[in-house]
Structure 1
Amino acid sequence: MIIGVPKEIKNNENRVGLTPGGVFELTKRGHTVYVQKTAGEHSGFTDAIYEDAGAAILDTIEEVYAIAEMIVKVKEPIEPEYDLVKENQIVFTYFHFASSEALTQAMLKSKSVCIAYETVEESDRSLPLLTPMSEVAGRMAIQQGARYLEKPVKGRGVLLGGVPGVTPGKVLVLGAGVVGIQAAKMAAGLGAHVTILDISMKRLRYVNDIMPPHVVTEFSNEFNIRRHIKTHDLIIGGVLIPGAKAPKLITRDMLKDMRPGTVIVDVAVDQGGCVETSRPTTHEDPVFIIDDVVHYCVANMPGAVPYTSTVALTNVTLPYVLKLAEKGWTRACKDHLDLQKGLSIIKGEVVYEEISEAFDLPFKPVAEFL
């Protein structure tokens, strides 16, 4: 199969779809890999390293899309890429369709085969291709939150860990999934007091077992959320409904109950956000303030640490890329139910129910294509 790795063009997206190691594994099996010029340089991988691994380098993104049977990238295609996606072309990436009707319509129009990293799901309901980026984002959420709590950037002026004689900062984590647990771990390591909320008692029991005593758990409901936002300095939104829009756990009217300089980091923003006032921001312009509450809503947080993120991502995506390259998408998805669950749009038809529901679009079962 011919695989194309374009350079990411989303604002400050520094990751790349495959490491040179991933390219080597594909080319040694007889597949052809084209990498766009300088696609990996921000992740620390030069064109020469890709060539040594067996890739051919192409100058432009147009050339990569034109020649590839399968595109492997990191973030969803953005508007300049919409018309480059070809009919029957496999596009394997993070899509987060439910947060963008424009992207959904563009991919329907392209009649391509869209397989979303974030909905590939194993039998235990874990999301293997989302997990490493959620781990990165959860840990970064505390780094960024701690930074924006500083007074020069309009935060409350609180040091999360405190110092002797001064109470540590308080962190509220919404969701005890991968993002939430990694955020809680980082915040606890700094010495902050952490409260983590979830609707799953199984997850809360797990958190209670693995975290130190200054991480406390509570059942998530509106009453508890409204109570805690009044006293916590940093709020992390880490909820996820696979393939669907995130629920709005913090509404516009709740901001007035927060203290000036409170910081919200909405990690769920790439799925629409779990805070009603959230809107996607970029690493270039990461925050905005509403009612004296600082909102950090960067939709590609792991792009700020591209070496770590690219290696972590290729570690988990490569086995699936190999299956698609060696079997083709129909056989690979028929043989591997986890990969089949990543199918979102096939040749102009929505095959993932949550996308259909998000935009009131016709739905066709995957089985009709396999």
Structure 2
Amino acid sequence: MIIGVPKEIKNNENRVALTPAGVAELKKYQHTIYVQSTAGSGSGFTDGEYEKAGAQILASIEEVYAIADMIIKVKEPITREYNLIKEGQLIFTYFHFASSEELTHAMIARKAICLAYETVERKDRSLPLLIPMSEVAGRMAPQEGAKYLEKPLKGRGILLGGVPGVKPAHVLVLGGGVVGTQAAKIAAGLGAQVTIMDINLTRLRELSDFMPANVITQYSNEYNIREAIKTADLIIGAVLIPGAKAPHLITRDMLKEMKPGTVLVDVAVDQGGCIETCQPTTHENPTYIIDDVVHYCVANMPGAVPYTSTLALTNATLPYAVQLANKGWQKACADNEELRLGLNVVNGKVVYKGVADAWNLKLTNPTAILELVH
């Protein structure tokens, strides 16, 4: 198979979808890999390293899209990439269709095969290609929140861990999954008083067993959230519904109940956000203020630590990329239920329920699509 790795062009996105080690692995199966020049530079990988591993370097993004059967990316295609995508071309990346109607319709129109990292799902319902970036984003959230709590950045002027004789900050984490767990761990490690909320009592029991003493668990409902935000200094949104829009747990009217300078970090923003007033921002302009509340809503948080993020992501994606390249997407998805669940849009048809529901589109059974292709 001919595999293309374009340079990411989303604002301040420095990750790359394939490392030189990944190139070498794919070359073992006689695949041809084209990498756009400087695609790996943001993550610390040179063109020379890719060439040594067996890749061929192309000068432009247009050349990569034109030649490849499968495009491996990190983030969803942006507007200038839409027309580069060929009918029947496999795009293997994060899509988050439920947060962008424009992207959804663009991929339907291009009749591409859109296999989304974020909906590849194991039998235990874990999301193996989302977990690594959730871990990075979860660990970054308190770090970024702590920074924007500083007064020069319009925060409350509170040190997350406090000092002897002065209370630490109160951190509220909404969601006890991978992101929320990592966020709570880091915030607690910095000395904050942490409350983590979830609607799954079994998960709350698990969290209670291994979290440090400065983390308390609480059942998530509107009343408890409204009470907690009154004293929270930093609120981290960490709610995920695979492939679907995140629910709004913090609504616009709730901002009035928060203290001026409170910081909101919505890690779920690339799935529509669990904070109603959050809109995607970039590392270049990461925050804005509504009702004296600082909103940090960067949609690609892990892009700020690309070396760590790229290695963590490619460790997870490469085995699936090898399957897709070796078998072709149809057979790979037919053989592997995890990959089949990653299919979101195929040949102009929406095959993932969360995407269809988000934009009121017709849902086509992916099994029927695979049978038709065969």
TM over 0.5: yes
Q: Which residue of 2 aligns with 1:6?
A: 6
Q: Output the CA distance in 1 between the equivalents of 2:201 and 2:4.
A: 44
Q: Is 1:287 aligned to 2:287, yes or no?
A: yes
Which residue identity does 1:199 align to in structure 2?
I
Q: Which residue of 1 aligns with 2:96?
A: 96
Which residue identity does 1:79 align to in structure 2?
T
Q: Is 1:169 aligned to 2:178, yes or no?
A: no
For residues 10-50 of structure 1, give each alpha carbon's deviation from its aligned partner in whole angstroms, at most 9, with x where no partner exists. Answer: 00000001011001100121000000000000100000000
Bigger shift: residues 279-288 or 21-30 = 21-30
How many Å apart are 1:100 and its aligned residue? 0.3
Q: Which residue of 1 aligns with 2:356?
A: 356
SS of the residue aligned with 1:71? strand
Q: Which residue of 2 aligns with 1:25?
A: 25
Q: Which residue of 2 aligns with 1:116?
A: 116
Q: Which residue of 2 aligns with 1:66?
A: 66
For residues 183-238 of structure 1, give each alpha carbon's deviation from its aligned partner in whole angstroms, at most 9, with x where no partner exists. Answer: 00000100100000000011111110110111000000000000000001000000
SS of the residue aligned with 2:259? coil
Alignment of structure 1 residues 1-370 onto 2, 5 Å: 1-370=1-370
Q: Output the CA distance in 2 between the equivalents of 1:277 and 1:224.
A: 20
How many Å apart are 1:76 and its aligned residue? 0.1
Q: Output the CA distance in 2 between the equivalents of 1:142 and 1:357.
A: 32
SS of the residue aligned with 1:345? strand
Which residue identity does 1:334 align to in structure 2?
A
Q: Output the CA distance in 1 between the equivalents of 2:329 and 2:304.
A: 31
Q: Output the CA distance in 1 between the equivalents of 2:126 and 2:360.
A: 27
Q: Output the CA distance in 2 between the equivalents of 1:78 and 1:32.
A: 25
Q: Output the CA distance in 1 between the equivalents of 2:202 and 2:295.
A: 30
Q: Output the CA distance in 2 between the equivalents of 1:340 and 1:130.
A: 16
TM-score (norm 1): 1.00
Which residue identity does 2:239 align to in structure 1?
V
How many Å apart are 1:253 and its aligned residue? 0.3
Which residue identity does 1:355 align to in structure 2?
V
Q: Output the CA distance in 2 between the equivalents of 1:85 and 1:175.
A: 36
Which residue identity does 1:229 align to in structure 2?
I
Any stretches of 5+ residues in structure 1 without a counterpart? none
For residues 313-343 of structure 1, give each alpha carbon's deviation from its aligned partner in whole angstroms, at most 9, with x where no partner exists. Answer: 0000000000000000110001100110000
SS of the residue aligned with 2:328? helix
For residues 152-172 of structure 1, give each alpha carbon's deviation from its aligned partner in whole angstroms, at most 9, with x where no partner exists. Answer: 000000001000000011100
SS of the residue aligned with 1:48? helix
Q: Output the CA distance in 2 between the equivalents of 1:18 and 1:206.
A: 35
Q: Output the CA distance in 2 between the equivalents of 1:320 and 1:366.
A: 18
SS of the residue aligned with 1:195? strand
Superposed structure 1 runs of 4+ greater than 2 Å apart: none
Question: Aligned residues: percent identity?
Answer: 70
How many Å apart are 1:308 and its aligned residue? 0.2
Q: Output the CA distance in 2 between the equivalents of 1:191 and 1:276.
A: 29
Q: Output the CA distance in 2 between the equivalents of 1:162 and 1:210.
A: 23
For residues 139-161 of structure 1, give each alpha carbon's deviation from its aligned partner in whole angstroms, at most 9, with x where no partner exists. Answer: 00011000000000000000010
Q: Output the CA distance in 2 between the equivalents of 1:190 and 1:228.
A: 20
How many Å apart are 1:362 and its aligned residue? 1.1
Any stretches of 5+ residues in structure 2 without a counterpart? none
Q: Output the CA distance in 1 between the equivalents of 2:323 and 2:75.
A: 21
Q: Output the CA distance in 2 between the equivalents of 1:37 and 1:174.
A: 41
Q: Output the CA distance in 2 between the equivalents of 1:243 and 1:57.
A: 34
Which residue identity does 1:295 align to in structure 2?
H
Q: Output the CA distance in 1 between the equivalents of 2:193 and 2:20.
A: 41
TM-score (norm 2): 0.99
Q: Output the CA distance in 2 between the equivalents of 1:196 and 1:84.
A: 44
For residues 213-272 of structure 1, give each alpha carbon's deviation from its aligned partner in whole angstroms, at most 9, with x where no partner exists. Answer: 110000000000000000010000000000000000000000000000000000000000
Q: Output the CA distance in 2 between the equivalents of 1:218 and 1:178.
A: 17
Q: Output the CA distance in 1 between the equivalents of 2:22 and 2:203.
A: 34
Which residue identity does 1:108 align to in structure 2?
I
Q: Output the CA distance in 2 between the equivalents of 1:327 and 1:210.
A: 42
Which residue identity does 2:328 align to in structure 1?
G
